Chain A
Amino acid sequence: MSANLSASFYLLSGILFILALRGLSSPETSRRGNYFGIAGMIIAILVTFLSVGGFNLNLVYVLIFLLIGGTIGALIAFRIPMTAMPELVAGFHSLVGLAAVFVAISAFLKPEAFNLGNIGEIKIASLIEMSLGASIGAITFTGSIIAFLKLRGIMSGAPIIFAKQHYINLILGIAIIVLIFYLCRHQSDSLFWTIIGLSFLIGVLLIIPIGGADMPVVISMLNSYSGWAAAGIGFTLENTALIITGALVGSSGAILSYIMCKGMNRSFFNVILGGWGAADQNSNKSSKEQKPVKSGNADDAAFLMKNASSVIIVPGYGMAVAQAQHALREMVDTLKKNNIKVTYAIHPVAGRMPGHMNVLLAEANVPYDEVFELEEINSDFANADVAFVIGANDVTNPVAKTDPQSPIYGMPVLDVEKSKSVLFVKRSLSPGYAGIDNDLFYRDNTLMLFADAKKMVEEITKAFD
Chain B
Amino acid sequence: MEIDPFIFRLSIFILSIFVGYYVVWSVTPSLHTPLMSVTNAISSVIIVGAIIAALAGSAEKIFEISNIFGFLAIILAAVNIFGGFLVTQRMLQMYKKKKKK
Contact = CB atoms under 8 A, between A and B. Distances in A.
A74 B39 contact: no
Contact of A52 (B31, B51, B69): B51
Contacts of B81: 41, 69-70, 73
Nearest to B30: A358
B1 interface: no
A96 B13 contact: no
A112 B56 CA distance: 9
Interface string A358-383: 11001101011111010000000000
A230 B78 CA distance: 15
Interface stretch (A56-64, A146-154, A453-461): A56-64
Contacts of A45: 47-48, 51
A52 B36 contact: no
B99 to A, nearest CB: 8
Interface residues of B, number: 83
Contacts of B95: 27, 30, 362, 368
B70 to A, nearest CB: 5
Contact of B34 (A30, A220, A234): A30
A73 to B, nearest CB: 3
Contacts of A89: 33, 36-37, 40
Contacts of A259: 29, 32
B40 to A, nearest CB: 5
B40 A96 contact: yes
Contacts of B20: 18, 21, 247-252
Contact of A30 (B62, B86, B92): B92
Contacts of A220: 36
Contact of B59 (A14, A52, A56, A88): A56
Given A52-B51, A114-B52, A248-B20, A367 B35 contact: no
A231 interface: yes
Given A96-B46, A109-B66, A247-B20, A237 B92 contact: no
Contacts of B29: 259, 346, 348, 354-355, 358, 373
Interface stretch (A75-83, A169-177, A307-315, A429-437): A75-83
A255 B19 contact: no
B73 to A, nearest CB: 4
Contacts of A92: 37, 40, 79-80, 83-84
Given A77-B82, A241-B45, A359-B91, A353 B36 contact: yes
A109 B59 contact: no
A62 B51 contact: yes
Interface stretch (A99-107, A178-186, A272-280, A384-392): A99-107
A40 B42 CA distance: 8
B66 A62 contact: no
What are the 7 tightest A-B residue pairs by CB atom distance, in nearest-first order? A69-B78, A113-B56, A355-B32, A73-B83, A73-B82, A247-B16, A354-B32
5 contacts: A38-B85, A110-B56, A234-B13, A369-B98, A370-B98
